[in-house]
Every structure is written in structure tokens, then in C-alpha cells.
Structure 1
């Protein structure tokens, strides 16, 4: 049986877990992050992620869900007071039943599944964890093979990004790379030619008029400046999402969601 720790104070172990919530550097150094919420924890276990520790409140017995997670994950358990669990859970009014400390996967493009007709999303330099998590959720919902995050960007393992993904972070690969170059090398090594399609409000073609049924890398720019000049230069096509009303543009995650829906629509009809 996995060992059980009992944490009664804000000791070194607690401080390490707390640092995982707000300090990206410490997440990277420790190679782990803290996961909050029933669905994200369930999907992390279901998809075989490395569960390093399960944190539970030292109090009433666990629910059926909590017992199942403990049994399936087989990870060491730490019992914390309700007050300490509330601090880590991010909710003032109640202590979460379970929290999970999960190992970070490698940022390796080899994690992306090689499919005959891949659809992969690139998010270039996203600045907001919530937007990044939302796009991961949309990529999962509309059948993308994975999400690639390029450049100096928000962290997909930030608690806000994990929550916004509603667990989809654990269902499809999300890989961080320094620039467009790594993506081009990966795409060039595939057995099929891949088109790179960028989105821009001034793109010359409406997205619905461009064929997205073949192997595609769909590039979404960041919230303020859109795609970088480097990404624009390597895109084979630039498309726009037509909008009306007083809005000058769409939120980056919303634009990515629309583009993914259009790709899925075309592929269903092909």
C-alpha cells in the first residue's frame, strides 16, 4: 500500500505544493504541478499521467469517487487539515476532497500522435493562461491531435489554464517549443505534406472558403499582436473569420475555437 503522510502545519512539503500554484519556475524545477477539480483529476488518472501524491482532507471519509481515485492511482497519500486544503484548493468556502500533484510531461513533439490526416493547433505566444486552457479544451472537443505553444508564452500547467481546459489538458498532448522552427521540422518529417494556415482579421480569404480537410497546422496568434512576423512568413495561407457588429476582433481563444469548428465541419462533410 502507498504510504500516507500527515501534514498538520505549513511545513516544507506544504510550501512546495503551494509554490506549484503560483510559481512557474518552481513547477519546472520540481517537474510537477498541482491539479484541482474533480474532472481534471479524474482525467489525469484515466489517461495515465504520473500521479506523484494525492492530497486529501484529514476528516470525514472520502466519497466513492475519491476512493476510486486513490485505488486507481496507487499514489502516496498526504492528509492535510481542512484549512490547508482550502489554501491549496483555491476556494475559500470549502476544502476540496482531493488534490493531485502530477508530474510534468516532456515538451517533445514526438508526443503528438502521427495520423494520416492530422489537425494540429499552434498558439503563438499566448499571454493569458485562461485563453490557453480554453483553446486546449476546444482542440480536444473538435478533434485536433494536439496543441503546440510557441515562444514566450503562458504556462499550460498554470492552475488557471488547467481549470479552463476542464481536464482536456490530460486528454491530448500540449507541447511547448521555442519557435516556429521546431514546428516546421516536425511537420517536414511527416509522411504527408502539411499546410500551415494562419488566422488574421485581415486575411485575404474567409476561413469557410479555404480547404481545411487535409493535413493542417492551424496557427493562432496571441491576444494583442496576433501571429508573429516569423509565423506569418512561414504560413502557406492566411485566412480570416468574418465578423460584424461593433467588435473589432475576436478573443484569441474564441478565434481558435471558431477555426477548429470550421475544420471539424469541413472534415465531417468531406
Structure 2
């Protein structure tokens, strides 16, 4: 393959981490292609918080501004497409997209995020990211001091309750079945006036994603306007694993401090690598990965 047809980097995923890396690499005059399928996990979230200069901005607007600024760098291009396969037959990575196009690059960066797996609770998916939320640092201030539901069980429930008690003292834990906290943890919850309800949740009543009440499987109804939840997820893209990249015990792509995966030449950044899901964290990881990829490209040429 002629070098003129070879990209320095292909970034798979064009949200905050991917765009941030794209800007870093564009400023290093690297030939970069960003490929994005247009399905961000925070599509329903009305506002993003805890990001300097853009606190309270709509996530889609942050992405729009970022894309506009990144594409001002002439060596960076963007395609709306879905990468469906990747291989490394001759020292370079070769990717194929759903539209049938093929691209080759020296390095890959996966900023593909994760896919949240919704529980079988009617109304939950419609409220997710709006009034059923995952992170107090992202959304806790806006719902501070409110009566708050928490849908979780086990050790994570205990630690999550501890953290959330900073934002509100009116917490009710919905364990969605028999509580699995040990006796000491239960005593600590009682000591801090946190009650729990073991009856499974049947459905969430809402208006356009704004929670009104929680209806249990026995018909009992509890009024709440906000709920926190920890739900399972899966990698949005299986391609990194197909290329040999390792996952850690939590199901995230295993990366070094500089965002390198377990496979040489492949990097990952953003929600697919960490439980710290926020725009600010993703942007920072994008800068790190872009800087390290550029450094590796420089070293490869010496």
C-alpha cells in the first residue's frame, strides 16, 4: 500500500473522547479519520454538568461545537458510518465499514463507549439519563436535597448510598428483590435513616422521561421525581476484543495510564475504559491518547 493512501490514525467513535483525540492529532498534523455511527449513550440526557465553560450545556451541542472545531484542522476528516470489522494483515490495520468502504491506518483508537442494558422495568428506558441518572457528580447538584430513590443491591448499594448521602438525606433503597447487604451494612443504613424496599419494581410512571412515581410488583406506589441506578453494560463494539484487546474484571477495555490497550498500536479512551462516565473525563482521556499516539508515531519514524 502506498503511504499516500495510508492514514496515521483511525478513531472509531466520534463523541467527546474521539473528537478530543482528533483535535490533539490534528494539531500534530497527523492524517486522521474519525468514524462515528451517531449513537451516543447520553442521547437522552438534556444537560451536561461539571465541565468548565460548558456547565449545563446540551451534550449534543457540545459535540456539535467540538466537531466543528476539530474539522477545522485540514488533516482530520469525519465519516458517519459503522466499522464492522478490522484486521492487521501486513503491519497496518485495515477496517471495513457498514457502507462497504475500506480504510487503512498505522494506529487505531477506540472511543466507542458502552451500551447500557436496560432492566425489564416498564418506563425505565424512557427515563434513563433524564430523571433516572447514574452519577451525582454529573447531576447530583440539580436534584440536591430531594427525596431520592436508588435502584441497586449488594455491596455496590451500600457504597452508593454512602456517596449519595452527601447530596440528600432522603434516600430510599429499592433492592428489586431480597436485600443482599450484610447485617453490619444494614445497621449502618438504619443508623443513617436510609430505608430499603425489597418488593420488585414493576414500572416507572413518568411524563416524557420525567419520573413521577415507582410502582412495585404488588401495585404499591411511591412518589419520586428522581432515581439513581447502576445497571449492567456491554462494550458497544466487539472489534477490540476480536483484535485481541483484553477486558478487565469490570468489563472495560484494559488500558495503561496513557490509554494503550494490551495490543500494540491500539488505544482506547472514554466510557469503554472506565466507570468514570462524564464529558470532562472523556475529553481528558482523548487528549492523553492523542498525545501518546503521536509520540508513538514519532518514535516509529526514528
- TM interval, short-chain normalised: 0.3 to 0.5
Structure that is richer in strand per residue: 2
With normalisation by structure 2, the TM-score equals 0.33
**Higher RCO (Cα < 8 Å, 6 or more apart):** 2
With normalisation by structure 1, the TM-score equals 0.36
Structure that is richer in helix per residue: 1
